[in-house]
């Protein structure tokens, strides 16, 4: 295996000389095909990381590497070919006047021949299950549908990593589950890395690894399972753990011993069953 896909070396960032540091000496690596979640309260610096990765912002100190390239003026467009980003507001990233035109935008920018474009648009719309909406205008789509178009637009450029920068935070539960389902289907079918930036802890369960940010510092790197044992610490930095993890912790407190920390209802019930049959 070659080197990591994304690497942050002692990265610090602030918006201006007289502004506070948004990121302080951050280090981490993300491997090819890995699925990472970055969490933290609003203002913890998690979205800044996304913008640094593809050079929308550049750090005052430290180095960032993407796919073996240093992220700087010279490499910026090559880097952006490897990184696809889906932003928070579904309305403000929809460039085309129709679904088809919007997906074409990224392809046009990269000078992809028209025949190839048509093929890729069709394929990507099928992947996100939006083939019936090719000619739709954005104001006739729901938030979830717009975000799926955004994902298709990003997929069309065949990136090595897709960053979802709070892509579900403005959606209703239906839209949210549409996106979560779309992404998990992609994870299974494509060899690609995913970075999910979120404050919804239900979305991190499927991540290989979680990076927790707090006040500009990398506070913790852990698997979701390890993370859910740290309820008190998470609450302290403005986050919450899901219901299952909370219940598991309370159960341990009243003397029900569980072998591993459960991530979902089935696991918890299974654990309880084992505990029950041992008695």
Partner 1 sequence: MNNTLIIGQYVPGNSLVHRLDPRTKIVIIFFFVFFIFFANSPASYGLLTLFAITSALTTKIKLPYILKGLKPVWFLIVFTFFLHLFVTKEGEVLLHIFTYPIYSDAVSQGTAISLRFFLLIMVTSLLTLTTTPIEITDAIESLLHPLKRINFPVHELALMMSISLRFIPTLIQETEKISKAQASRGVDFKTGSIKDRMQAIVPLLVPLFVSAFKRAEDLAMAMEARGYQGGEGRTKLRQLRVEKRDILAYVLFVCVLIGLFFTRS
Partner 2 sequence: MDISFKNVSYTYQPNTPFEFTAIQDLSIDINSRSFVAIIGHTGSGKSTLIQHLNGLLHPTKGEITVGRFTLSANQKLKEMKELRRNVGVVFQYPEHQLFEETVAKDIAFGPKNFGVEQEEIGRRVDQAIKFVQLPEALLERSPFDLSGGQMRRASIAGVLAMNPQILVLDEPTAGLDPRGQEDMMEMFYKLHQEKQLTTILVTHSMEDALKYADKVIILNNGTKYMEGVPAELFLDKQALKKVQLDVPEVIEFLFEFERKFGVSLPYQKQSVSELATEIADRLKRS
For partner 2, the binding residues (CB under 8 A) are 41-43, 142, 169-170, 172-175, 199-201, 235, 238-240, 243-244, 246-247, 250-251, 253-256, 265, 268-269, 272-273, 275-276, 279
Selection from partner 1, partner 2, none that 12 binds (CB < 5 to 8 A by kind) is none
Structure tokens at 241: 């753990």
Residue 158 neighbours by CB under 8 Å, 6+ apart: none
159: which 2 tokens? 């990136």
Q: What is the binding site for partner 1 (CB under 8 A)? A: 51, 54, 56, 77, 80-81, 83, 85, 87, 89, 91-98, 100-101, 104-114, 117-118, 121, 137-139, 153-154, 157
Rank residues 42 and 97 by Cβ distance to partner 2 and give the closer one: 42
Query: Which residue intervals of the chain are DSSP H helices?
Result: 46-53, 76-82, 99-109, 114-127, 143-155, 173-189, 224-227, 231-236, 243-253, 265-278
Give me the least distance between CB of 253 and partner 1, in Å please: 45
Q: Specify the residue, 121 or 180, whose C-beta has the smaller distance to partner 1.
A: 121
| HSE-CB for 237 with a 13 A CA cutoff | 22
- Nearer CB in complex with partner 1: 165/203: 165
Residue in this structure with the two tokens 């205008």, named with its chain if needed: 137
Beta bridge partners of 65: 7, 70
Give the shortest CB-195-to-partner 2 separation in angstroms. 18
In the complex, minimum distance from the CB of residue 189 to partner 2, in angstroms, rounded to a whole number? 26
Helices (H), 128-262: 143-155, 173-189, 224-227, 231-236, 243-253
Least Cβ distance, residue 160 to partner 2 (angstroms): 29
- Cα–Cα distances (Å) from 64 to 138, 168, 211, 243, 251, in that order, read 35, 26, 17, 36, 43
Nearer to partner 2, 58 or 240 (CB): 240
Residue 15's binding partner out of partner 2, partner 1, none, with CB under 5 to 8 Å set by partner kind? none
């Amino acid at each position: 295996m070659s080197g990591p896909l994304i690497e942050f070396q002692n990265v610090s960032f602030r918006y201006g000389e007289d502004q506070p540091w948004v990121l302080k000496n951050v280090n981490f690596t993300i491997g090819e095909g890995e699925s990472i979640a970055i969490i933290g309260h609003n203002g913890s610096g998690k979205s800044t990381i996304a913008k640094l990765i593809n050079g929308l912002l550049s750090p005052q100190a430290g180095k960032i590497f993407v796919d073996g390239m240093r992220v700087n003026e010279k490499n910026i467009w090559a880097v952006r070919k490897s990184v696809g980003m889906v932003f928070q507001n579904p309305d403000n990233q929809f460039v085309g006047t129709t679904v088809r035109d919007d997906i074409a935008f990224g392809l046009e920018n990269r000078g992809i021949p028209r025949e190839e474009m048509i093929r890729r648009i069709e394929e990507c719309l099928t992947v996100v299950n939006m083939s019936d909406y090719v000619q739709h205008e954005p104001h006739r789509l729901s938030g979830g549908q717009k975000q799926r178009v955004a994902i298709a637009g990003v997929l069309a450029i065949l990136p090595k990593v897709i960053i979802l920068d709070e892509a579900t935070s403005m959606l209703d539960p239906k839209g949210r589950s549409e996106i979560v389902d779309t992404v998990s289907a992609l994870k299974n079918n494509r060899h690609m890395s995913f970075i999910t930036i979120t404050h919804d802890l239900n979305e991190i369960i499927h991540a290989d690894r979680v990076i927790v940010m707090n006040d500009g510092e990398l506070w913790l790197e852990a698997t979701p399972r390890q993370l859910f044992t740290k309820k008190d610490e998470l609450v302290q930095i403005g986050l919450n753990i899901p219901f299952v993890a909370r219940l598991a912790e309370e159960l341990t407190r009243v003397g029900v011993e569980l072998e591993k920390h459960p991530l979902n209802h089935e696991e918890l019930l299974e654990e309880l069953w084992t505990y029950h049959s041992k008695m």
